[in-house]
Chain A
Amino acid sequence: MTNRVVFDNVSRFYGEVLGVNRVTLSIPPGITSLVGPNGSGKTTLMNLMTGLVQPTRGEIGVLGVRPNDPARLCHLVGYATQFDSFPKGLTGYEFVYSFLRLFGYPHERCAKQAKAAIARVRMSEAAHRKVAGYSKGMRQRVKLAQAIAHDPPVLVLDEPLNGLDPLVRNETIALFREMAHEGRHVIVSSHVLHEVDQISDQVILLSNGYVVAEGQIQSVRGEIQDQPMQVWIRCNRPGALASRLFEMDHVVEARLAADGAGLLVKTRDAGRFYRTLNHIALDGIDLEGVTPVDDNVNAVYGYLIGEESR
């Protein structure tokens, strides 16, 4: 059994409308973020890998199981959708417990796993209150509890951080990391790019139903050749550093900071640039800090898809 979520030339159309087109992916364990604006195909991709919609073309395998086999697939996958809707009249505990019973487990096991899942998202105190009375953040967490209750190796979460306050957001991100360290796939969609930067081991960038890039964010950034890499350097002699840098053919721009305490450098070859910078540091220029400015999702997304689509 492969331990990857695989899309092989998958397309999905809703009548005339494109959902995703010719998607080929191989998602390893860890936290993978699907990034893209509304309508880019994130939810369609998630619905495809959880079997809620079937592909028009191509094949999907989730740890070797095809999504048209729900009896096997649903043991492997937990999915918290973006929909803020719940069966009526249930408490948080009843909600998690009842849908766990659909797995055919006995009462004792369901009760134990439901309690554990609710505790994991820190909802134990509110577990016996009606879901209808929960705040948005609590509903998000109880949805997450329902998705993880059967202990799936693949967790698919559509905008899971929406509505969470900063404290709970950090706790939830920590939970994702914990699950990723356990060897699970945690596939998250988000349009909040700085969050994606914080949590992702790899990203999949989507636009208009197409995958425009995938992989670790630094390697994706490195492949964008037409946009020079930007690096912010704080040092004691920025003017001297700038003149040294201009001797290199891959440096296209060096701009002094207004406060005179640093400069912004644009280079076409980050590898050579960093190696050169090490030599310069040995030549008496005191480098206080070197920070890449645009190897984050925000910048990569802007380069690949354009500012207007964000």
Chain B
Amino acid sequence: MNAQIASVIRLELMKTFFSRRGLWVYLLAFAPALLYLIHAIDVTRDHEHRQALAAAHPVATEALRSIKEGATAEQLFGAAGEPYSSRTIPQGRRARAGGFRNLAIYQYTDGDSDFTFVVVDGQVERINEQDRCNLQKDSAIFATVFQFFYLRLAVFFGCAGIFMNLIRGEMLDKSLHFYLLAPMRREVLLGGKYLAGLIAAVTIFVTGTALQIAALSWHFDAGAVSEYLRGPGWSHIAAYLGVTALACAGYGSIFLLAGLLFRNPILPAAFVLLWESINLFLPAALKKISIIFYLQSLSPVVASPDRGLSLFQRLLISSAEPPRAWVAITGLLIVTAGVLVFSGFRSRKLEINYGTE
């Protein structure tokens, strides 16, 4: 039986990894990493530009931070020297529009952060310190993108593409009969196909997650990265990779069943997507009947779901106590196993009827 499963896996992996029809799965998996890489290149170039400005207009960070709102322009220049950029608004025009007489904007940089001083009538009225990206901020952004784009859309649709293709794709290609004519139990065939899909999905999407993390941390200096890794870094990375693999296992089993049961699996996929998407607004008990609930509870950094929602939408959100990690992992694996067992039973009734496809 093991040799048969291995043979099914070998055939399916060739098909899944090298099929032209599956190129979009790679795009879904690796597009976020590419975006993070572009972001990292942009941040690096910006940092180099700031370093060059700081070299031309040297100023200490402490000197810039010593300036408080209400300080005079003379005090600013005395402490920080000449800004690398200054802009004044002509007196008459601003006076008519806003009622003040004189406005100037001075920009300094210490090489890492930008300091902008808004001076009105010779007095510092507002100070804006824009620091370079830090790991904490970026990891919060990563958590949001991971939970609300990568898991819910990229892994979801990627698994739909990979796992639905295992049975339904073969039906459409009229090649499923080659498998059904092999002397193996249908459950074994299905198990082999699921394992092949899982290996492919985990390889593609876990690699995608790893590349995102690598691209995100690429522009930070080695010291900051090793400090992060000494702290929660490794456990975060392991959690993200593990959650991605669990997502592939959970969604994979559901889409395998959908491919087995439905002639047009787009409809059940749309239903599952809707169910997973409205998870935020479901009552606590229903929340737990979803894959995304457990996946989010396993994510190491909490992503705020209500950012960008209206007050009315926020009122609709219900909260459910997130389960412990071992409960979430066990629960997901039990759900996956249950769906696979049911698929196994259904596969016994699988028939070749290409004419109606």
Contacts and interface: CB of A to CB of B under 8 A. Distances in A.
A50 B1 CA distance: 21
B57 interface: no
A90 B7 CA distance: 14
A174 B185 CA distance: 35
B312 interface: no
Given A52-B352, A98-B10, A70 B185 contact: yes
Contacts of B18: 89
Interface residues of B, number: 30
A94 to B, nearest CB: 9
A53 B1 CA distance: 24
B178 A87 contact: yes
A102 B179 contact: yes
Nearest to A95: B178
Contacts of B349: 54
Interface string A80-104: 0101011111100000001101111
Contact of A52 (B7, B173, B351): B351
Interface in A91-124: 98-99, 101-106
A235 B173 CA distance: 59
Interface in B312-357: 349, 351-354, 356
A103 B7 CA distance: 9
A99 B183 CA distance: 10
Contacts of B19: 88-89
Contacts of A73: 183
Given A53-B352, A54-B351, A85 B184 contact: no
Interface of A: 14, 47, 50-54, 70-75, 77-79, 81, 83, 85-90, 98-99, 101-106, 146
14 contacts: A52-B181, A70-B180, A71-B185, A87-B175, A89-B18, A98-B7, A99-B178, A101-B3, A101-B7, A102-B4, A102-B182, A104-B4, A105-B3, A106-B3
In the A-B complex, the 7 residue pairs with the smallest Cβ-Cβ separation, listed nearest first, are A102-B182, A74-B183, A101-B7, A85-B174, A52-B352, A83-B174, A53-B351
Interface of B: 1, 3-4, 7-8, 10-11, 14-15, 18-19, 173-175, 177-186, 349, 351-354, 356
